[in-house]
Structure 1
Amino acid sequence: MKHFFTLVLIAIALRGLCIDAYFNHIVFHTPEGGAYVETHMLFNSSSLTFRNAAEGYQARVELTYIFEKNGAIADFSKNIVKSPFVSDSVSAIVDFLDVQRFPLAANDYKLSIKLRDINNPKDSGTIIQNIRVESPPESAFFSNILYLDTIYPNNGKKSPYSRGEFDMIPRISGYHGPSVKTASIYTELYQSEISLGGSEDFIVTLDIVDPKTDQALTEYRILKRFKGNSAQPIAHKWNIESLSTGNFLVKLEARDRNNVVIASKSSLLQRHSFVPASDSLDDFQINSTFVGKIRSEDSLRNITYCMKYAASIYEENYIEENWDKADTTELRRFIYTFWRERNSVNPAYSWERYEERIAYVEEEFDLGNNRRHACRTDRGRVFLKYGKPDTRVIQSREPNASPYEIWHYYKLPSKSNAKFVFYDRSLVTNDYVLLHSNVPGEQVDYSWYLQLSTPSVLPSGNDEPLSNSGQVIDYNNLNGIQMNSVGSRALEYWNNPR
């Protein structure tokens, strides 16, 4: 069966979880009018616990997807995703990917993504994402552009990666780091016969475009010829060894025999390489800028890591891979380019404002005793990503409750009336963990109120926890529940930030 699909690429770092994972999804449409959502989940093995098994060490993650439409479950799955076997847990550095497909009708859905490390169950959490399945248009259109890690013939053996006669292993984003020598894409053009009025010839141009000049890089231009049809798969691989560091667009255009564009699509390709951009400074010039004020190697690496919370998904991938192992010259160039991209007139100003945030985080959320750096704590991450909260409730000595904080932001880009709850599980370390938030993409735990309670006051002996009045607690609707036996005012602070 041929599949029409519109790819909606939302490479999302699932923050607020102990498990480091990235998610995106694709929406497929079929000629019969049905639709499928294809999910991609990439796991960072270094964030998982490996246990010895018969064939070596292996990580296992319980992955649950729940699609809800108007409050009702439309589809769901629960699977154990297993890493490749490795010879020992120290060398467990191979990331692994899960791909699934769900038949869904055109509508808006709330997707709950639940992750649990089977080998370390305390590492778990839930993230909420909104998914839209749209009906296809009535003329020619491209799917969005899917970046590929690998493509190879499947010899008739179908798998979740199969498209026709090939298996295609997706990349989680359009970021291509220094070790990547090629950029491979896959897309499909649908309903070209409608726009062409039949099976006429047409061409598709594939370009890599510099968005600063809106000019295609001629050495990368490709032309492919096809005949009008209902679904035309298109794949290509460029050698990008000579492509300099920077943001580019992969741009596709389908043109009829009169050179009229009948469909077009573009997607961001971000390149980080050892080839300097044409307008970049040399190393001596960079060291004479604000970057030259960063003296020690430890500071340079820590600053690079802290910048991940201001980074795009592509830049974040680079930081994750290189902050602790790239040479200092490369990191200085990255820091300078990072802030120049955000403020070409005065990059030092933008850097200094962010540096002030880092300094505040280091002082306010320090764990002491040379333990994990403050910007790697949950409070440090949220502060660096979203800025100073408009209100901050600090409760460190409330009876029968763990120390906790509730942060409130009047308005964030993705959420108004945004809130975060942190708590110190150990009671003494100052390492407050994000427990719950109403911000999309952050940790969700509707039982957060009970998690604040110290063990001596938690309900026991029942399958479901009861409130002090005896009714079963609805985790999805905690407003108005009185928990006097716990003594916590957390719900009051949550509902009425101050």
Structure 2
Amino acid sequence: MNRIVIIIAVMLSGLMLRAQTPTGYFHYAPFMDINGDPYLETYLAIAGNSVKYRDVEGEEDKVQASVEVTMIFKNGDIVKAYRKFNLKSAELDILKDGKPAFLNLERFALDNGTYNFELTLKDNYAKGEKFTYSDIITINIDSTDLAFSGITLAESIKPTQKRNQYTKSGFDIIPFVSNFYPDDVNELSFYAEIYNMDKAVGQDSVFLVTTYLEGNPTKRMYTEFAHKSRKTAAPINVIMKSFDISKLNSGNYNLVIEVRNSKNELLGQHKKFIQRANAEYNELDVDYTSIDISRTFAQEITNFNQLEDHIYAIYPIANRMEQKFILQDFKPGQMKLMQQFFYNFWKERNPANPEAEWNIYKDQLKIVQEHFGYGRRRGYATDLGRIYLKYGPPSSIREDHLGQQQIISGGGADQTMVDAVDYQIWHYYKVNGQTDRIFVFVKGLDKYSLGGEYVLLYTDVAGELSYDDGLNFNSVSGLLRDIDSQMLRDIQSESSRALSRFLSGQR
């Protein structure tokens, strides 16, 4: 049987461009200038170990790499911006300097709108085909009302000594061209701008900016990473901040910028998706017994079975530590502990009104139960329901039917015929900062274990279950040909449907 590698660990979600050569990372952020005109910043980093180096003429023991970069922005068939240039590394002493990444920042004057973007990379010192990446980029910054720029994640922020391509607002903002923070990076720095606060609250009026990290999709607010500052309203207000993330657990998060007026009314919010891998730190379990639930909505839930169901229902949006608590075998004697956990869960997501946050989610549970409940299995325990609760409704759903399929084991000797297969493809235009992502759900692949319930077979969303060893999604039928019965069992045992399996054993 072919080697099957199932990847559950947190994955790099920033765009990584791979070809034979070179390898690069790309991000972008829209901004607005002092005249109210929008522009786009693009950030590109080339991995130094993915390109070829040549000796620098006239410099003994020095080498340098060079990559041809082409960027094209189109609106329909009309080219709105075009730029072609050679991006060179620093002159390096290979024995001393290694092969660090080399960066580029470009600024494009582009009107609000949607653009078809094409990026081409070619190693000038290596033979091989050009590598081309395309994306859809939208710029939409209101010049008359409260608006946010994109958020630039920064490797460093320092006062400018001599103006250069990275200079902005009197600082050199060196971009961190990824939204993935590995173990050896323990600081998260960022730069952003808020526009038209003078129009929103009045020139020179005071307003409050709060920056913090929240779990994604848990919405848990990590107060230890929160910072509040008072600002004076101006046409452009600059926001710069750094977080020590050495004690940030591995997982998915949103970096949040929140603006409130002097009455503490929320005026606007902007988010940036990030991922963290931190093998050096594990968050301690919360002592829920210390949570005060007197005169709270959680204290009023006194039916054990109802509260137990409520707790199971929040599993899809819980973080790892909370999921660990949820998968306990609850007893009626733990009623107060369950209430304390349930209240704390929603309080961490909405400290001002945890009950309102629960009521919003409860409405989503009704939708999930109505559309995705299967037999005695609750809607939230199905793969369709879990993805809906975690990421919201998809941009589009394609549902279709395939005839009898032939599943071929790795060696090709064993073949299994299965009955007709139904599938759904959920497409998300935007999810966790990623564009054009899909989930493929199937039913009918294994009548003994999957039955008539749709199960998640494939997704290209970073951080979700993914498969290696050639399982590229070109078509559903092609995907089916690449799987075998052992892989189906692997999918079931290793996927995030732990709650579904748990409940199946309980009831």
TM-score by length of 1: 0.53
| Whole-angstrom CA distance in 1 between matches of 2:193 and 2:119 | 28
- The answer to whether the aligner puts 1:218 opposite 2:223 as a matched pair is yes
Provide the aligned length of Structure 1 versus Structure 2. 297
Task: Give the CA deviation at 1:234.
Answer: 0.8
- The answer to whether the aligner puts 1:386 opposite 2:392 as a matched pair is no
2:168 alignment partner in structure 1: 163
- The answer to whether the aligner puts 1:247 opposite 2:261 as a matched pair is no
Task: Give the CA deviation at 1:96.
Answer: 1.2
| Whole-angstrom CA distance in 2 between matches of 1:344 and 1:133 | 32
- The answer to whether the aligner puts 1:138 opposite 2:138 as a matched pair is no
Change in Cα spacing, 1:71 to 1:90, as seen in structure 2 (3 Å) is farther
What is the DSSP-based 3-state SS (H/G/I as helix, E as strand, rest coil) of the residue aligned with 1:46? helix
Q: Give deviations 1:94-135, integer Å, cap 9, x for gaps.
A: 111111112122333222212110110325222222222334
- The answer to whether the aligner puts 1:107 opposite 2:123 as a matched pair is no
User: Contact (CA 8 Å) 1:249, 1:266: kept in 2 or not?
Assistant: yes
Correspondent of 1:34 among 32, 37, 56: 37
- The answer to whether the aligner puts 1:125 opposite 2:131 as a matched pair is yes
Identity %: 23
1:12 alignment partner in structure 2: 15
Residue identity in the other structure for 2:153:
Y
Change in Cα spacing, 1:62 to 1:250, as seen in structure 2 (3 Å) is same
Q: Give deviations 1:4-23, integer Å, cap 9, x for gaps.
A: xxxxxx94222455321121
Task: Give the CA deviation at 1:178.
Answer: 0.7
2:52 alignment partner in structure 1: 49
Task: Give the CA deviation at 1:201.
Answer: 0.8
Q: Give deviations 1:181-240, integer Å, cap 9, x for gaps.
A: 211111111111111133211111112223465332232221111111111001111111
1:198 alignment partner in structure 2: 203
| Whole-angstrom CA distance in 1 between matches of 2:90 and 2:385 | 44
User: Contact (CA 8 Å) 2:213, 2:225: kept in 1 or not?
Assistant: yes
Task: Give the CA deviation at 1:270.
Answer: 1.7
- The answer to whether the aligner puts 1:188 opposite 2:275 as a matched pair is no
Task: Give the CA deviation at 1:259.
Answer: 0.6
What is the DSSP-based 3-state SS (H/G/I as helix, E as strand, rest coil) of the residue aligned with 2:224? helix
Correspondent of 2:99 among 93, 96, 101: 93
Residue identity in the other structure for 1:122:
G
What is the DSSP-based 3-state SS (H/G/I as helix, E as strand, rest coil) of the residue aligned with 2:198? helix
| Whole-angstrom CA distance in 1 between matches of 2:23 and 2:74 | 24
- Equivalent residues in 2 for 1:253-264, closer than 5 Å: 253-264=258-269
| Whole-angstrom CA distance in 1 between matches of 2:204 and 2:107 | 31
Change in Cα spacing, 1:137 to 1:12, as seen in structure 2 (3 Å) is same
Task: Give the CA deviation at 1:383.
Answer: 3.6
Change in Cα spacing, 1:146 to 1:382, as seen in structure 2 (3 Å) is farther
What is the DSSP-based 3-state SS (H/G/I as helix, E as strand, rest coil) of the residue aligned with 2:200? helix
| Whole-angstrom CA distance in 1 between matches of 2:54 and 2:27 | 28
User: Contact (CA 8 Å) 1:245, 1:277: kept in 2 or not?
Assistant: no
Change in Cα spacing, 1:13 to 1:385, as seen in structure 2 (3 Å) is farther
User: Contact (CA 8 Å) 2:141, 2:147: kept in 1 or not?
Assistant: no
1:173 alignment partner in structure 2: 178
Q: Please list every run of 5 or more consecutive structure 2 residues that lacks an aligned counterpart in the other structure.
A: 1-12, 286-318, 325-382, 387-406, 413-466, 483-507
Residue identity in the other structure for 1:139:
D
| Whole-angstrom CA distance in 2 between matches of 1:79 and 1:391 | 39
Residue identity in the other structure for 2:181:
H
TM-score by length of 2: 0.53
- The answer to whether the aligner puts 1:152 opposite 2:158 as a matched pair is yes
